[in-house]
Amino acid sequence: MARTDTPRTPPPPAPAASPAVLALRGLGRSVGGATIVDDVTLDVREGEFLAVIGPNGAGKTSLFDLISGITPATRGTIGLDGHDITDAPVHARARLGLGRTFQLSSLWPAMTVADHVRLAAQAAEGVSYRLWRRAPRYAGQVAHVLRRTGLEHRAGTPAAELSHGGRRQLELAVVLVGEPRLILLDEPMAGVSAEDVPLLTALIRAVHQEERRTVLMVEHHMDVLLGLADRIAVMHHGGLLAVDTPAAVMADETVQQAYLGEEL
Ligand SMILES: Nc1ncnc2c1ncn2[C@@H]1O[C@H](COP(=O)(O)OP(=O)(O)OP(=O)(O)O)[C@@H](O)[C@H]1O
């Protein structure tokens, strides 16, 4: 017989939105008297593709430097997957799943494509760069990443002989070998020829949609971003001017004024 005094079971909670992988709270950096990043508060959700745009000097790369630990914050906090990483060194952030590419190429010209990826695989395991291991144990991992990034036919090519697009593919391969959950891409299309842009865009889309990684990307090519981004964050004078869907950002008059005639 059913008990009448049993307390009613509360209804299940509404499904929560995906948790924030990255949580920035009042994040800032001042150098001398200048504020380079100003009071940035932002949540990036699991699986989200967030583009970061803004006029030259708006603070986009400086924000990436703070998130990846290249430079220290002077205010605020950074949370990664629930961990406070505000004061964590670069390698600790990488171990927690954060990977980053740079605006300027960070490759060794004479080193082959495969050796770049092998060295990155070794570094991702915490083995020093100085203990260069040609161990076959990385071969499968390297081949897999080269296949994913369309570089399998360039394994023996020195980085200097790659096109700009090929170098960007390699930079992505170097980051992906560490299997990061959150990837920061700083202007991946910079210097890339128009014919290489679609391939690189497709690669970044696959990293986000097929591999289900969370992506933050600084990029000036709006046409590229419009096909990739779930939301766009607009920076201006170090702060966040707007964070919204691509359509809403494009229609925002404050954003258009911030560009002062520059093409958005
Ligand atoms: N170490 C530093 N000392 C002083 N000023 C700096 C330092 N690093 C960056 N800045 C300044 O901070 C501002 C933001 O620079 P940042 O490179 O982050 O901008 P950005 O939005 O990435 O620009 P761009 O689109 O041109 O790459 C610029 O005015 C820059 O000169």
- What is the secondary structure of 42-93 as a DSSP string? EEEETT-EEEEE-STTSSHHHHHHHHHTSS--SEEEEEETTEE-TT--HHHH
Give the distance (Å) from ligand 1 centre to CA of residue 85: 22
Lining ligand 1 with CB less than 6 A are 31, 34, 36, 54, 56-62
The answer to whether 167 and 105 have CB atoms below 8 angstroms apart is: yes
Domain residue ranges of the chain, discontinuous segments joined by + = 20-259
SS in 3 state form for 204-231?
Answer: HHHHHHCCCCEEEEECCCHHHHHCCCCE
Give the distance (Å) from ligand 1 centre to CA of residue 4: 68
Give the distance (Å) from ligand 1 centre to CA of residue 143: 37
Residue 3 CB partners (closer than 8 Å, separation 6+) = none
Alpha-carbon span 67 to 65, nearest angstrom: 6
Please tell me whether residue 18 adopts helix, strand or coil conformation: coil
The answer to whether 115 and 165 have CB atoms below 8 angstroms apart is: no
Alpha-carbon span 49 to 209, nearest angstrom: 9
Select from 37, 62, 184, 217 the residue to mutate for testing ligand 1; criterion: most ligand atoms less than 8 Å from CB: 62
Overall residue count recorded for the chain in this entry: 264
pLDDT tens, per residue, the chain with 264 residues: 444 444 455 555 544 566 799 999 999 999 998 999 999 999 999 999 999 999 999 999 999 999 999 999 999 999 999 999 999 999 899 999 999 887 666 788 999 999 999 988 888 776 655 555 556 778 889 999 999 999 999 999 999 999 999 999 999 999 999 999 999 999 999 889 999 999 999 999 999 999 899 999 999 888 899 889 999 999 999 999 999 999 999 888 888 888 755 655
- Give the nearest ligand 1 atom to 103 CA: 27
The answer to whether 45 and 19 have CB atoms below 8 angstroms apart is: yes
The answer to whether 252 and 242 have CB atoms below 8 angstroms apart is: yes
* pLDDT for the residue 130: 52
What predicted TM-score, i.e. pTM, was given to this entire model?
Answer: 0.87
Please tell me whether residue 233 adopts helix, strand or coil conformation: strand
ipTM above 0.90, yes or no: yes
Query: Of 239, 242, 244, which Cα lies nearest the Cα of 36?
Result: 239
Give the distance (Å) from ligand 1 centre to CA of residue 70: 14
* pLDDT for the residue 14: 47
Fold (topology level) of 20-259: Rossmann fold (3.40.50)
CA 120, 122, 123, 124 dihedral sign is positive
The answer to whether 28 and 76 have CB atoms below 8 angstroms apart is: yes
| Residue where the block lists tokens 């399998």 | 152
For residue 61, the one-letter residue type is T
- Give the nearest ligand 1 atom to 63 CA: 18
CA-angle at 248, arms to 60 and 15, nearest 5° = 90
Give the distance (Å) from ligand 1 centre to CA of residue 95: 27
Nearest CA to ligand 1 atom 23: 57
Give the distance (Å) from ligand 1 centre to CA of residue 57: 5
* pLDDT for the residue 74: 97
What is the DSSP pairing of strand 182-186 with strand 34-45? unpaired
Nearest CA to ligand 1 atom 4: 31
- Give the nearest ligand 1 atom to 235 CA: 21
